[in-house]
Structure 1
Amino acid sequence: MSSVNDQDSLRYEIMEWKEKRNAIILAHNYELPEIQDIADVLGDSLTLARAAAQTYADVIVFCGVHFMAETAAILNPDKTVLLPDIHAGCSLADSITLADLRNWKSAYPDAAVVSYINTSAEVKAESDYCCTSSNAIKVVESIPEEKEILFLPDMFLGAYVQRATGRKNMHIWMGECHVHAGISPADVDNVFRDYPDAELLIHPECGCSTSSMYLLSEGQLPKERTHLLSTGGMLERAKNSPSSQFIIATETGILHQMEKENPNKTFIAANRSAVCPFMKMITLPKVLESLKENQHVVSVSETIRQRARLPIDRMIAIG
């Protein structure tokens, strides 16, 4: 663990190198607090994709995981995209391969493929639409009702979208994020006992999301205090809600920003062990080294990039 003085020195040097390289630092809401605090743009996957598409910087330092840096590279073929730790992967993205998707498509040749942003560039290139948790419902609703849909790779997000849209002709890949899948209904129940008046904010990827939707429909969870939201949606709700206590069912990294923006409110993790080891791989020394040495460039072949660009553009346009 570096000291406060060490971190101050690292931050100062990072800012110097960022200026030298005309770089922008994008960071996901699940990153370490010190990484969140140096970001030019901090947000969920959709926010960061939009920022990557709009930036005038020459270098994009992506403090997130590999598929996010790939998305930035797809959107910016003339810019340098750096990932401070090349081993920062994603268990959800790894749950489906290009071969898997092609085999699945062969069984449903007329279906539209909707890929969650948490996928490889190759899988995106084989898709018709991309989506994030904040716009997945809108993306599915934009597709004609008679059209079959293959939704991948997260089964919990897929179940949430299917229930919200009422689509009967939607097939869902059985993948999961191991961190979110580990947040169980029992976790929520246990925390609710200690904070019965709190609002419950649930990420749709969570293992508790399907049961929570059922309990919500049965009136066993308070409708006015239970919300399924993206990480960006959670941050907005935390700021705008009159509630003073919130149970947060997602990766715990988001608590830093919530507490920073709302010092008079209390935020409780539904499961304190919901920590993504890949997100936590990015550190201040690695960001500095990446900038200084132009280290860990993430690129995508032009063939894949051109094909993957369309579903990503559709995702950004749908909003």
Structure 2
Amino acid sequence: MTSSARPTTPGEIREDVLVLAHNYVRREVQDYADVVGDSLELAQAAVESEKPYLVVAGVDFMAETAAILNPGKCVVHPEPLARCSMAARLSVAELERARARHPGVPVVAYVNSSAAVEAVSDICCTSANAVRVVESLDVPRVIFAPDRNLAAYVAAQTGVEVISVPAFGCCPTHQALSKSDLEDLICIHPKAEVMVHPETSPAVQALAHFVGSTSAMLRRVRETDATTVIVGTDISILYRMRRLAPDKVLVPASHLMACPDMRMVTLDLVRKAVQTREPVVRVDPAVANGAHRALERMLSVDRDGMRPTSPQRDLPSVGPLPAPLGTGARP
């Protein structure tokens, strides 16, 4: 996560506004923002800020998350039409049907979900803390929504049975990277380190040396001894990576990995939102209450390193979880 003083234009007042930008938005928006990070970092920064106005440069669920966690602050989303297509794939009704099929099994909702889905879940997670969140529950199986690829990654890392809902939920941007395309790129750059996001397919993850969230990838690109790195996530992250590791040759795994909704959030829209403090994000109070509980339980895992209090109080324990299986299959 990055945070520093940002440029302003004449007449622009920002003393009481915090601008939060995701790693996948346009580079000029990242430059303008006060904080740039992944979903978990943005959520944490929003909670920790004392500023009364939060402008969230990202897609809809990120703005909803900020609003739910900060009921006393005014949260503004510069482009309400910028939506997460993966979040839109799962309805509350489908998730409740999964609960009925698996009574007593806790529901873990990836934050790339609607507030309504989070409200009927037990705990939320991000790609940065999904493994820790699932391990914290200390149960033999979980229902995981809505990304089947992240679900598969969590299952491999924890040994927990992960029931993915919906069956074909995924991020189109990350699903665009195919195993064959990555294999071709590896042939071109045989000495490169391959790092990919856990929203990519299991077949793609198996080819990688490193699998992690955007924040983890940013740390890794600075630490690796490799001089060339193939990067399997939204290409916008290359902007920050090149600033953090100017000595590395960074190769996008696919130029198709560019979320169209993230690119809808332009600098002009963000500046307008800062000035007008609109459009304001509003979440139904009943939905917000349930989602707040699930999000707070997630944050407690990272904040306190504690096992959250589970609504399923009588769930059996399976004892110590196995050690992580590793983050890549290539030698």
TM-score, length-scaled by structure 2: 0.86
Q: 1:167 aligns with which of 154, 160, 175?
A: 160
The 3-state SS of whatever aligns with 1:298 is coil
**1:57-111 CA distance string (max 9 Å, x none):** 1110000000000000001111111111110001110110111111221111211
Aligned to 2:307: none
Q: Is the 8 A contact 2:232 2:252 kept in 1?
A: yes
Q: Does 1:178 align with 2:172?
A: yes
By how many angstroms is 1:15 displaced?
A: 8.5
Specify whether residues 62 and 194 from structure 1 end up closer, same or farther in structure 2 by C-alpha distance, changes over 3 A only: same
Q: Does 1:17 align with 2:17?
A: no
Output the CA distance in 1 between the equivalents of 2:263 and 2:45: 22
The 3-state SS of whatever aligns with 2:98 is helix
The 3-state SS of whatever aligns with 1:37 is helix
By how many angstroms is 1:11 displaced?
A: 5.0
The 3-state SS of whatever aligns with 1:306 is helix
- Letter of the aligned partner of 1:279 in structure 2? M
- Letter of the aligned partner of 1:231 in structure 2? T
Q: Is the 8 A contact 2:76 2:277 kept in 1?
A: yes
Q: 2:99 aligns with which of 94, 98, 105?
A: 105
Q: 1:285 aligns with which of 251, 257, 268?
A: 268
By how many angstroms is 1:13 displaced?
A: 2.2
The 3-state SS of whatever aligns with 1:151 is strand
Aligned to 1:235: 218
Aligned to 2:289: 306
**1:24-80 CA distance string (max 9 Å, x none):** 010000000001111111111111110111111111000000000000000111111
Q: 2:82 aligns with which of 80, 85, 88?
A: 88
Q: Is the 8 A contact 1:198 1:246 kept in 2?
A: yes
Q: 1:116 aligns with which of 107, 110, 117?
A: 110
TM alignment of 1:1-319, pairs within 5 A: 11-13=7-9, 16-19=12-15, 22-146=16-140, 148-168=141-161, 170-173=162-165, 174=167, 175-207=169-201, 210-214=202-206, 226-319=209-302
- Letter of the aligned partner of 1:111 in structure 2? V
Aligned to 1:218: none
Aligned to 2:322: none
- Letter of the aligned partner of 1:85 in structure 2? E
By how many angstroms is 1:243 displaced?
A: 1.7
In the alignment, structure 2 segments of 5+ residues that lack a partner are: 1-5, 303-331
Q: Is the 8 A contact 1:73 1:300 kept in 2?
A: yes
Specify whether residues 188 and 96 from structure 1 end up closer, same or farther in structure 2 by C-alpha distance, changes over 3 A only: same
Output the CA distance in 1 between the equivalents of 2:287 and 2:220: 37
By how many angstroms is 1:213 displaced?
A: 4.7
The 3-state SS of whatever aligns with 2:195 is strand
Q: Is the 8 A contact 2:12 2:275 kept in 1?
A: no
By how many angstroms is 1:12 displaced?
A: 2.5
Identity over aligned pairs, percent: 38
Q: Is the 8 A contact 2:20 2:57 kept in 1?
A: yes
Output the CA distance in 1 between the equivalents of 2:205 and 2:49: 38
- Letter of the aligned partner of 2:182 in structure 1? V
- Letter of the aligned partner of 2:41 in structure 1? T
Q: Is the 8 A contact 2:182 2:204 kept in 1?
A: no
User: 137-146 or 120-129: which moved more?
Assistant: 137-146
Q: Is the 8 A contact 1:201 1:246 kept in 2?
A: yes
Output the CA distance in 2 between the equivalents of 1:15 and 1:176: 43
- Letter of the aligned partner of 1:314 in structure 2? R
Specify whether residues 14 and 263 from structure 1 end up closer, same or farther in structure 2 by C-alpha distance, changes over 3 A only: farther
In the alignment, structure 1 segments of 5+ residues that lack a partner are: 1-9, 216-220
Output the CA distance in 2 between the equivalents of 1:47 and 1:41: 9
Q: Is the 8 A contact 1:59 1:82 kept in 2?
A: yes
Alignment length, in residue pairs? 295
Q: Is the 8 A contact 1:14 1:288 kept in 2?
A: no
TM-score, length-scaled by structure 1: 0.89
